[in-house]
Amino acid sequence: MSDARIELRVEERIAYLTICRAEKLNAIDEDMVDALLQACRAIERSDARIAILTGEGAKSFCAGGDIEAWSRLDAGTFSRRWLRDGHDAFDALARLIVPLIAVLNGHALGGGLELAACADLRIAEAHVKIGLPEAGLGIIPGWSGTQRASRRFGAGLVRRMALFGEVFSAEEALALGLVDRVVTTGEGAAAAQIAAARVLQRSARATELTKMLINAAEGEESERVVEALAGAVAASSDDLTEGLAAYRQKRPARFGQ
């Protein structure tokens, strides 16, 4: 990893991804965006079958984009690099081939909620607050807070947070469908371990394919899913074996009917 503030370790088929910047409420700057994207690639190349995402400390899961970092950028750089690079990293997280559990061990505001929206399961500790306060700073929820969050939570709920500034407690978030489970403060990691253990008992290939299909149904990555699934079918066919053999032997292929 190029940035120690995004820590990744893989143990017993579980990838642990932690934002390690508690002194800044786990806010993300440009280098951390790049490191997050690298971490996603590393997870997909590892033997991990499930990933758990959390933030360092107990105050904040992630405070979103580091205001000091993005406020220094001119408008063009903000659009071309900050927003686009952030989308690349968050898209990679949402599209991991393995299921992702987000443990909200602290507040998830702005980009922190956008980060949590990338997960397949969100476990919130009881003290957590959740919202999209960006408009109060004169900016928009720019890392898919209006798009992925609307698909996953519903546009009406996103309107309440992004337009009207509502901030929800963990219990309110559970009732509204923003999180999937609420646990006592300090017990999020243990709850994630239990959920991860259930995933490890299931078929790895079936789980991967099912996640891809759910993402496609949700509009997350329809084009890639269609091609990936078709490619997997083609790669397992006798036609590919024959085609490669013919290529190597410099002869016409004899495909079956």
Confidence of residue 19 (pLDDT cuts 50, 70, 90): very high
The pLDDT tens digits of the residues spanning 177-188 come to 999 999 999 999
Distance CA 225, CA 188 (A): 31
Active-site positions read 114, 134
Nearest Cα neighbor of 122 from 146, 141, 144, 149 is: 149
Hunting for tokens 């996953």 — which residue is that?
Answer: 152
pTM over 0.85: yes
Domain limits, the chain: 6-200, 204-249
Q: Is the pLDDT of residue 23 over 80?
A: yes
State mean pLDDT over 93-111: 96
State mean pLDDT over 39-48: 97
- The dotted CATH code for 6-200 is 3.90.226.10
Nearest Cα neighbor of 130 from 169, 184, 103, 158 is: 169
